[in-house]
Structure 1
Amino acid sequence: MNRPLILAPSLLASDFARLGEETRAADAAGGDWMHLDVMDGHFVPNITFGPDLVKAIRTFSKKPFDVHLMIAPADPYLEAFAKAGADVITVHAEAGPHVHRSLQTIRALGKKAGIAINPGTPAQAVEPLLGMVDLVLLMTVNPGFGGQSFIRDVCDKIRTVRQMIGGADIDLEVDGGITAETAPLAVNAGANVLVAGSAFFKGGPNAYAANGEAIRNAAAMARGELV
């Protein structure tokens, strides 16, 4: 049985000058999760925000906060993000040598644990970790910046990871270049959580609901849930 289709607007693409209001607007427009890309200028070539900002916008939405740590090392910051209001905390397999410890720590903090890999990392990197995670995140762009184009070759990796997951209680998330045109490719390959940034936030708050609906409907049609 297909896992529920989840749309996670990426606040990286929102207006940072009014991030609280953007979070509220993304929630009201139908976002299921709020996706927060945390970048450190070291693991990826950009800097975004930290735990204090997550805490500051936590009151603007009751939806799950999906915090994606593109930072190295991640371990020193896990507790801070958990206390700030993260519901899911995802770390990269490439970000450090002790990823098992990171995942154990996230679970011990009472949060859902996710493992992410970049487009150039083989799917096999997540296989030994599947017993320790609630989510696998496959990057469909090279991380660091919003607005990039979907890397279609990653669809083969999505299929491989979906087979690895089997019937386990694990969501399969994709992040990067998700639009109404690429969402069907991702869900046909086996993804059920779609992170959408530029395609969701384009046009300003009055367009968010229609943008999200277009992505969701395209994915639902590909899953055979909408005619």
Structure 2
Amino acid sequence: MGIQITPSILNADFAKMGEEVARIPSADWVHVDVMDNHFVPNLTFGPTMVEALARATDTPLDAHLMIEDADRNAPVYAEAGASSVTFHVEATKAPVRLARELRAQGARASMALKPATPIEPYEDMLPELDMLLLMTVEPGFGGQKFLDLVVPKIRRARAMLDKHGIETWLQVDGGVSLETIERCAEAGADVFVAGSAVYSADDPDAMVEALRSAAAGAAGHS
């Protein structure tokens, strides 16, 4: 599995979602930020939007759930058509059970950690995950500045994955741009969420390819 670029539609035009997704044909996934105005202070999409997007594009959907009570609510997004469902460990009481439930429904199971949440307590459950998401900003809003303090955690997470010999993907989300993606790739990330960097570009799809190239170059020198 090589470098994957997952544009976030949080920065797209909500009134033209089908058209906005069509502007990024080179994307590996479409990242859908689901916020409930409780776990984070913002309100965005729900399962109905995921269903509509799944009908509008052949690109698989990566649903990032910034919502409370993930144990009960996350499976709904797999049912709605998300190919990958990410729950926050801070919002679940039984992460292993939830990951297994998502996988049983045919979705990739992913777990997200806020910047201040350490990775070490979850090392033993990494084999239960298809992807681990390390937030490089505080979740809740797009356009935030990348937090360099997370880079050492990316390195530690990559070392854990390599130690266990598992193929769990390592995703980063928050402030990812041409100025920051190389640091993340060099540290060991291989899946990159980019929102404002993509949708503020004159040619969003060209930016997807530029980000992929930058990350691949940095990963090759790590």
TM category (shorter chain) comes to over 0.9
Is residue 150–residue 176 contact of structure 1 (8 Å, CA) maintained in 2?
yes
Instruction: Report what 2:20 is aligned to.
Output: 22
Q: Establish whether residue 98 from structure 1 lines up as the match of residue 94 from structure 2.
A: yes
* Offset at residue 75 of structure 1 (A): 2.4
Is residue 181–residue 218 contact of structure 1 (8 Å, CA) maintained in 2?
no
Of 135-144 and 119-128, more deviation after overlay is shown by 119-128
Q: Match for 2:77 among 51, 74, 81?
A: 81
* Offset at residue 62 of structure 1 (A): 1.2
Instruction: Report what 1:155 is aligned to.
Output: 151
Q: Establish whether residue 41 from structure 1 lines up as the match of residue 45 from structure 2.
A: no
Q: In structure 2, what residue type is equivalent to 1:70? A: M
Q: Establish whether residue 4 from structure 1 lines up as the match of residue 5 from structure 2.
A: no
Q: State how 1:193-212 maps to structure 2 within 5 Å.
A: 193-203=191-201, 207-212=203-208
2:92, 2:142 → 1: CA distance? 24
Q: Establish whether residue 114 from structure 1 lines up as the match of residue 135 from structure 2.
A: no
Q: Establish whether residue 190 from structure 1 lines up as the match of residue 183 from structure 2.
A: no
Of 134-143 and 102-111, more deviation after overlay is shown by 102-111
Distance 1:116 1:125, change over 3 A: farther
Q: Any gaps of 5 or more consecutive residues in structure 1? A: none
Q: Percent identity?
A: 45
What TM-score do the two structures reach when normalised by structure 2?
0.94
The count of aligned residue pairs is 219
1:126, 1:116 → 2: CA distance? 11
Of 117-126 and 172-181, more deviation after overlay is shown by 117-126
Deviations 1:19-62 (CA, angstroms, capped at 9, x unpaired): 12111222x2x111111111111111111110000101112221
What TM-score do the two structures reach when normalised by structure 1?
0.92
Is residue 71–residue 94 contact of structure 2 (8 Å, CA) maintained in 1?
no
Q: Any gaps of 5 or more consecutive residues in structure 2? A: none
Instruction: Report what 2:212 is aligned to.
Output: 216
* Offset at residue 212 of structure 1 (A): 1.5
Is residue 179–residue 215 contact of structure 1 (8 Å, CA) maintained in 2?
yes
Q: In structure 2, what residue type is equivalent to 1:184? A: E
1:115, 1:153 → 2: CA distance? 20
| Deviant stretches of 4+, over 6 Å | none
Is residue 93–residue 125 contact of structure 1 (8 Å, CA) maintained in 2?
no
Is residue 146–residue 176 contact of structure 2 (8 Å, CA) maintained in 1?
yes
Is residue 93–residue 126 contact of structure 1 (8 Å, CA) maintained in 2?
no
Deviations 1:122-175 (CA, angstroms, capped at 9, x unpaired): 111331221210000000000000000110110100000001111311100000
RMSD of aligned alpha carbons: 1.3
Q: In structure 2, what residue type is equivalent to 1:38? A: V
